């Protein structure tokens, strides 16, 4: 094993169905391999007719064959949080014979979101999770102080804080957010028998007016547009008159002159 403390717990399991001590057994082992581990199951009773093998991680089949050997192996190329878990080796026979090997690692804690945003007065929700095996046994939350230290957050110390944790997830809720008091970095730590790791979540609290900013932006754009239209209309020349209006007046002047000449001729006669 390497210095990270990655372990694989070997186990000896009996035949399924409540076998007695004289029944065949599977001897399991997990020797190191370069960069990973090789899981091995060895059936001690050669009288069984084996038609193949299966390897399962949880309920998912990760390897299978039709070999009749009494020994089967599965190679984990890289031991990590994703590859850790419970592995089952199954000898296909009548009945099937199975064994379990636990591949365990320290917690691999990550923040669901590295930065969380919330509005002042609302409830902020910070979440961390760990997908490694075994599950986290204890979750703890801290807040980073201005002097660089860590202030523990415990249920009951402040009614605005509430924590809810399960084996692979923890959640911190901060009620009635205050932009001055609550903004900052929060650390979640998860621990099991193999160690402890943590992750940081940055909480950013927006002002109460933040929700109005998009609306105010739209209003400002409308006002600017109306102002431009108003200025344009004011600067138009007042003597700009459509051509059809001037054309309509000319015939009226010509008719008036003709009528005047007719009246003068009648008077002289």
Please name which of 48, 130, 144 lies closest in space to residue 95, comparing C-alpha atoms: 48
pLDDT for position 242: 53
Position with higher pLDDT, 158 vs 106: 106
User: Is 84 in contact with 168 (CB distance < 8 Å)?
Assistant: no
Q: What is the mean pLDDT of residues 36-59?
A: 93
Residues 176-189: tens digit of each pLDDT: 999 999 999 999 99
For 246, residues 6+ apart whose C-beta sits below 8 A from its C-beta are none
pLDDT for position 214: 72
Using a 10 angstrom Cβ sphere, with 0-12 exposed, 13-18 middle and 19 or more buried, the burial of residue 242 is: exposed
Q: How confident is the model at residue 259 (pLDDT cuts 50, 70, 90)?
A: low
Alpha-carbon span 26 to 93, nearest angstrom: 13
Q: How confident is the model at residue 152 (pLDDT cuts 50, 70, 90)?
A: very high
pLDDT for position 120: 92
The region of weakest confidence among 98-107, 207-216, 260-269 is 260-269
Tokens (6 digits) for 239: 């003597």
User: Is 146 in contact with 121 (CB distance < 8 Å)?
Assistant: no
Q: Could you tell me the pTM of the whole model?
A: 0.66
- Percentage of residues in the chain having pLDDT higher than 90: 54
The region of weakest confidence among 58-62, 125-129, 222-226 is 222-226
Tokens (6 digits) for 181: 């008091």
Please name which of 145, 53, 140 lies closest in space to residue 91, comparing C-alpha atoms: 53
Alpha-carbon span 150 to 67, nearest angstrom: 57
Q: For all residues of the chain together, what is the average pLDDT? A: 80
- The H helix count followed by the E strand count for the chain is 2, 19
Alpha-carbon span 199 to 30, nearest angstrom: 30
């Amino acid at each position: 094993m390497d210095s990270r403390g990655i372990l694989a717990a070997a186990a000896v399991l009996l035949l399924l169905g409540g076998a007695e001590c004289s029944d065949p057994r599977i001897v399991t082992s997990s020797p190191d391999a370069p960069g990973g581990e090789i899981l091995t199951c060895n059936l001690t009773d050669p009288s069984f007719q084996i038609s193949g093998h299966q390897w399962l991680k949880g309920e998912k089949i990760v390897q299978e064959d039709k070999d009749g050997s009494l020994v089967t192996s599965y190679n984990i190329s890289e031991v990590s949080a994703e590859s850790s878990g419970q592995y089952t080796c199954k000898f296909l026979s009548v009945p099937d014979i199975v064994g379990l090997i636990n591949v365990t690692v320290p917690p691999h804690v990550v923040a669901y979101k590295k930065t969380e945003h919330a509005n002042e007065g609302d409830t902020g929700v910070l979440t961390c999770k760990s997908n490694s095996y075994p599950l986290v046994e204890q979750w703890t939350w801290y807040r980073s102080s201005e002097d660089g230290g860590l202030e523990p957050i415990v249920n009951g110390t402040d009614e605005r804080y509430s924590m809810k944790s399960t084996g692979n997830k923890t959640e911190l809720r901060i009620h009635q957010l205050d932009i001055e008091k609550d903004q900052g970095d929060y650390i979640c730590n998860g621990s099991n028998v193999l160690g402890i790791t943590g992750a940081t979540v940055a909480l950013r609290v927006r002002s109460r007016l933040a929700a109005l900013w998009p609306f105010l932006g739209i209003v400002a754009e409308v006002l600017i547009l109306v102002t431009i239209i108003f200025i344009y209309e004011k600067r138009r020349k007042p003597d700009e008159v459509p051509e059809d209006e001037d054309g309509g007046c000319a015939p009226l002047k010509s008719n008036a002159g003709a009528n005047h000449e007719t009246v003068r001729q009648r008077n002289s006669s």
